[in-house]
Amino acid sequence: MTENSNNEYELVIIGGGPAGLTAGLYTSRARISSLLIERGLLGGLITETEMVENYPGFPEGISGFELGQLMHQQAVKYGLKTITAEATGIELREGQKVVHTTEGDFITKAVIIASGSERLKLGIPGEEKFTGKGVSYCATCDAIFFREKPVAVVGGSDAAITEALHLAKFAAKVTVIHRRDQLRASRVLQERASSEPKIQFLWDTVVESVEGGDLVKRVRLRQVKTGKKSTLDVAGVFISIGFKPNTDYLKGVLSLDAAGFITTNARMETEIPGLFAAGDIRSNSIRQAIAAAGDGAVAAISAQEFLAE
Ligand SMILES: Cc1cc2nc3c(=O)[nH]c(=O)nc-3n(C[C@H](O)[C@H](O)[C@H](O)COP(=O)(O)OP(=O)(O)OC[C@H]3O[C@@H](n4cnc5c(N)ncnc54)[C@H](O)[C@@H]3O)c2cc1C
């Protein structure tokens, strides 16, 4: 492994979720000096979910937080270095890349971009004002504050229904508000939600605003087919309507698809030699931890071959 004292690494990985940590595990075991840059909690998005039942090797399931921690432990065991910093840009220089971060610049030959995605916002009146005062984007983090209170979940995906099921353990009532007339969530989750007496559904309905005093008191709704307006009294609104890729810092470096995701080939190579992408940040990713980890392994091996050339 080529050690360094002046911020130079053979490889820099941006993002410490399943993709980045798996890439780091592989490159560290291959004795490539690797730095992983993470702006938040190591483990990534999966740490926010209470129970992961579809990651192989854990027949009883495992908490997302524990899975993230185990991935981190395993990667650092083989020498992966991590720092807490936000990557703010990548500069391409002759034969090398410079990763700009809030903790300074890092010079490297190859970069694996694994910065995942973050939750989309509704962009409606009251959403920002009441964030942290009833509006939340993470049931696992905040459900406990809504014991015996009525709450709403906005969305119809796996993530939204997982949030609703978790909230049902605490809240008095959970209303899932979905703009369509059926869920996108997997059948097993739909069945669980339908047999949970505390969960009810409002179909073809959108939230137009969040209102309250110091804390959230109600949401204003519109039925999209009839146009009929109504209100629903809730203490909490959990917004789970999808994700946007964390690629703002890459504008001008790489071409991104219309939604801002990165296109790679099957070897996780981007259009720029030495720049690889892995995980949820890729176009058409299935956005699952196991796929992100698989992408990370492929990116690491491709980067290893690139460095050896
Ligand atoms: C509620 C919920 C439940 C889920 N349940 C499951 C499940 O049961 N099974 C399953 O397989 N998957 C599940 N997922 C999906 C899974 O979490 C993701 O597919 C997986 O975490 C993607 O891994 P990743 O490494 O690509 O990205 P992420 O896990 O998103 O990691 C990216 C990391 O990059 C960091 N980052 C972003 N920008 C920067 C920057 N500029 N500089 C530095 N760091 C940066 C972020 O802080 C983050 O830690 C769930 C997701 C959610 C939200």
Tell me, in angstroms, the distance from the centre of ligand 1 to residue 221's CA. 30
Q: So what's the pLDDT on residue 132? A: 87
115 within ligand 1 shell (Cβ under 6 A):
yes
Please indicate whether residue 37, judged by its CB atom, sits closer than 6 Å to ligand 1: yes
pLDDT grade for 5, boundaries at 50, 70 and 90: low
Contacts of the segment 248-252: beta carbons below 8 A, 24+ positions apart: 249/87, 249/88, 249/89, 249/90, 249/115, 250/89, 250/90, 250/113
Q: How far is it, in rounded angstroms, from Cα 152 to Cα 225?
A: 20
Please state the rounded mean pLDDT for residues 247-260.
93
Pairwise CA distance, residues 19 & 44, whole Å: 9
C-alpha pair distances (Å), 200 with each of 65, 150, 172: 28, 11, 11
Output the CA 282–ligand 1 centroid distance in Å: 12
Which of 42-56, 58-72, 84-98, 187-201 is least confident? 42-56
pLDDT 10s digits, 99-144: 999 999 999 999 999 999 998 999 999 999 999 899 999 887 789 9
Residues across the chain: 309
Residue carrying structure tokens 């937080």: 65
Is any atom of ligand 1 closer than 6 Å to the C-beta of 48?
A: yes
What span, in angstroms and rounded, lies between the C-alpha atoms of 67 and 118? Answer: 19
- Over residues 9-37, the pLDDT tens digits come to 999 999 999 999 999 999 999 999 999 99
Judge if the beta carbon of residue 80 lies within 6 A of ligand 1: no
Grade residue 95 by pLDDT with cuts at 50, 70 and 90: confident
Mean pLDDT of the region 39-47: 94
Residues belonging to the active site = 138, 141-142
pLDDT value of position 2:
43
295 lines ligand 1 (CB under 6 A): no
pLDDT band at 280 (very low <50, low <70, confident <90, very high): very high
Q: How confident is the model at residue 236 (pLDDT cuts 50, 70, 90)?
A: very high
Sheet containing 205-212: which strands, arranged edge to edge?
205-212, 216-223, 229-233
Among 13, 41, 46, 48, the mutation site with the greatest number of ligand 1 atoms within 8 A of its Cβ is 46
Overall average pLDDT of the 261-289 stretch: 95
Which range, of 4-13, 50-59, 181-190, averages the lowest pLDDT? 4-13
Is 3 a residue whose pLDDT tops 50?
no
> What's the pLDDT at 207?
98
Residue 141, pLDDT score: 78
For residues 80-92, give the mean pLDDT: 97
How much distance in Å is there from the Cα of 287 to the middle of ligand 1? 8
Going from the Cα of 217 to the center of ligand 1, the distance in angstroms, rounded, reads: 31
pLDDT over 50 at 235, yes or no: yes
CA distance 118 to 243: 5
**Which stretches of the chain are DSSP H helices?**
18-29, 64-77, 139-142, 158-167, 187-194, 289-308
Report residue 268's pLDDT band, with 50, 70 and 90 as the boundaries: very high
- Res. 94 pLDDT band, cuts 50 70 90: confident
pLDDT digits (tens, 9 = 90+) for 171-222: 999 999 999 999 988 899 999 999 999 999 999 999 999 999 999 999 999 9
CA atoms of 218 and 211, how far apart (whole Å):
5
